[in-house]
Chain A
Amino acid sequence: MPVTRINIGPVHPSTHGVIRLEVDLDGDTIVDVEPHIGFLHRGVEKLVETRMYMQCPPYMEKLDYVAPMAFNEAYVSAVEAAMGIEVKERAQYLRTMLLELQRIASHLFGIGTLCNDLGQMFTVFMWAFKDRDIVLDLLQEAAGSRMFYVNMRLGGLNQDIGPEFHGHAMKVMDYMERRIGEYEDYIEKNPIFMERMRGVGVLSAEQAKNLGVTGPVLRASGVNFDARKNNPYYIYSKLNFNPKVLTSGDNFARYKVKMLEMRESIRIVRSVLESLPGGDALGMPVKLRSPNPANRIATSSRELPRGEVFMYLVADPQKPYRLSIRSPNFINLAALRHMSKGARMADLFAIMGSLDLVMGGVDR
């Protein structure tokens, strides 16, 4: 049968952003998928070269607009490494907690849109966005904004949490734990969902390692790698948590890893709140004139909700000379071609949804 070439996008309801896919089909079976990116390219890495160090965080947050705080934190920690600044102990705890809250919000978004892509499961989308709003309210209380926080300062945070935060957070965590059980009940008892997720879009451990994918995609393929565990930062080495690893490498595993990670994040948030030390959490105020860097080259590696980000910063006295970003979204997109070969055309968006890409991080 001759190969048919179909063009999808750049505007398509299920592509999670603007990306163009060229799909080669043999009947209904995918022979090859070629992603064309660049529809959101705005030259972040070049722009930050003209900005002072602490003018850059707003640009960093827009790289991954579903988990902005996590990306920003990776950048700020690279600057801190360059300046030789220690993060205050209380700020370390708070940052850990905020990052985990951000992970919950991000995974909720991923699961909601995945179920939306599968069609007929709009309920989960509505639930996930409602619950995400509740987590965002908590983040707003702690960081001062709803979506783009810009709350990281050199050595700490822009504000400490209020006295009521502990109670609110515990309440939300109890609620979220109950809700995640409801999600699992609702989603995994749906035979259509299971049929479309089990055994579809398989990525073997070998392929995953060769492609360099990270995050839930890698862990769903059976490779136990988590930057929080393998390259611990802040208080993750003190915390008792385990990266969630599944072996099947299919869509369902990628979904399930996110569910398990949310439960783990809830546990981390609880234990951080219980062991929160006193003291000061505020960082340096933002000044246009930044302190001179101690190191010319600084790096930071962080586990984002979507995978590992690596920031490579070459520091000049006033502003970054060069900032190179390894974005997990871009690397994970490379796996799409390998995962969807041999799958049905209709499964392509289930696979895209399970990858949980954010195009802002792909194009940069």
Chain B
Amino acid sequence: MPEENVDYSSEEFANAKREMDSLVYESLKGREMKPNALFARMADLAKAMPLSKDIVKWSRSNSVWPLQFGLACCAIELMDFGSARIDAERKGFLLFRSTPRQCDVMVIAGWVTKSMVPEIKRLYEQMLSPKYVIAFGECATCGGPWWESYNIVKGIDEVLPVDVYVAGCPPRPENLFGALMKLQKKIGGVVEG
């Protein structure tokens, strides 16, 4: 962590720290601010505090919680990814959450039909920022073998911003592990080695 960049004596840092403390206290005490607004303000404050920003990044990249959401074939490999052999939990990819409000990453595993697009959009909008999308497999990347079908969206990136693409039909669970590590690097705060 680049501690030498932090000017602990600056006015800005002191103010941010003071306000952060009071916000934490307030969130414990009562409901004067709505949680979303509170977190948004906290995130703003964290920008003024370089050290805590790194800590936030580090904690974010090491606890990427996925949404329990599978579409088709690749969802089987996604389930396998969470099971005993690969053991995704050792990289913080733990706890498939059933509600989008507790999730950081959405793995699009399977082909996306036109009838699923509004549902996927809705799920994505329900997730709290910062949120990430992994396009897992050929169908989610570009439409895959269903390229010529009348009911298929040719890649989820027509609908959502995608962070990591994974090729394969289906990719092996190990490939998802690689994608996860790439995503962690993208989030930042990963300690090498």
Contacts and interface: CB of A to CB of B under 8 A. Distances in A.
A38 B71 CA distance: 12
B76 interface: yes
Interface in A148-170: 148
A39 B113 contact: yes
Given A65-B76, A133-B80, A11 B69 contact: yes
Contacts of B84: 126-127, 129-130, 133
B123 A11 contact: yes
Contact of A11 (B72, B77, B119, B170): B119
A41 B169 contact: no
A47 B146 contact: yes
A133 B70 CA distance: 19
Given A43-B151, A133-B80, A59 B145 contact: yes
Contacts of A39: 113, 115-116, 119
Given A17-B70, A41-B113, A146 B172 contact: yes
Given A38-B115, A147-B170, A43 B150 contact: yes
A43 B146 CA distance: 9
Contacts of B152: 42
B76 A40 contact: no
A11 B150 CA distance: 22
Nearest to A36: B115
Interface in B59-106: 68-73, 75-77, 79-80, 83-85, 96, 98
B151 A41 contact: yes
B136 interface: no
Majority-rule SS of B interface residues:
loop
B123 A50 contact: no
A38 B113 CA distance: 9
A129 B79 contact: yes
Contacts of B77: 147
Contacts of A132: 80
A43 B111 CA distance: 12
Given A42-B152, A43-B150, A148-B170, A62 B119 contact: no
Interface in A337-364: 359-360
Contacts of A58: 145, 169
Contacts of B80: 129, 132-133
Contacts of A66: 76
B68 A130 contact: no
Contacts of A13: 68, 96, 98
Interface of B: 68-73, 75-77, 79-80, 83-85, 96, 98, 110-111, 113, 115-116, 119, 123, 145-146, 148-152, 169-170, 172
Interface of A: 10-13, 17-18, 38-43, 46-47, 50, 58-59, 62, 65-66, 109, 113, 125-127, 129-130, 132-133, 146-148, 359-360
- Smallest CB-CB A-B distances: 4 pairs: A129-B83, A65-B73, A130-B84, A13-B98
